[in-house]
Amino acid sequence: MLRVLVATDFSDDGRTVVDFAANLVRQSGGKMYLLHAVEPCMMDAAGCITLEHHDGGSGEEHGEIRHASLLEMTNNRAHRAAEKISKKWDIPIYGKAEEADDVVECIHQFCERHHIDILVIGNRHHSLLSSILLGSTAEKLVRTAKIPVTVVPCCPGNKRA
């Protein structure tokens, strides 16, 4: 059974990447994994987010207020996205968000823990200057991967800046 990981940030640009991987999994009879690596600086910047939670059966008119971390919210989003994509493509999908000091290392460790066969990632076509100064996550993943990596253009209609 082929195990395919899509490293994603759940942006609209990533739909092409997810659809590519889902089609691959459906054709192979494998399983797809979605992973969003959340950097601590993002969680620190977001802080604790206040949510209103309505209790469906308690009869409370105003519900209750609770706090959720960005990681918890992102993990819930990953689970919901996995369910939605699973229904659309009729394939098994596991969605997860993890805290990552180093996004590239987090993705590689996830691949090892879950015995991933192929990593599918998107490439946003950063400008030449930003690629030289900062590099890109996609480039780092390809360079350091121990398994095959497929890079899917996120915005095929857009030209490089």
**Predicted model pTM:** 0.77
Each domain of the chain, given as residue ranges in start order, spans 3-153
pLDDT score at 9: 83
Query: Which tokens belong to 115?
Result: 């015995």
How many other C-beta atoms are found inside a 10 Å radius of the C-beta of residue 6? 29
Give the architecture (CATH level 2) of 3-153: 3-Layer(aba) Sandwich (3.40)
pLDDT score at 36: 92
Q: Note down pLDDT in tens along the chain; length 161 residues.
A: 899 999 988 888 788 999 999 999 999 999 999 999 987 765 554 555 444 444 444 444 444 444 457 788 889 999 999 999 999 999 999 999 998 889 999 999 999 999 999 999 988 665 555 454 445 788 889 889 999 999 888 765 544 43
pLDDT score at 10: 83
pLDDT score at 155: 64
pLDDT digits (tens, 9 = 90+) for 76-105: 999 999 999 999 999 999 999 998 889 999
Cα separation, 80 vs 74, in Å, equals 10
Residue type, 127: S
pLDDT score at 21: 96
Alpha helices in 47-123 (DSSP H): 70-89, 103-113
Alpha helices in 29-147 (DSSP H): 40-46, 70-89, 103-113, 128-134, 137-144
pLDDT score at 61: 45
pLDDT score at 122: 87
Query: Which tokens belong to 69?
Result: 């971390």
Nearest to 100 by CA among 5, 4, 9: 9
Residue with tokens 């994994």: 33
Cα separation, 39 vs 54, in Å, equals 30
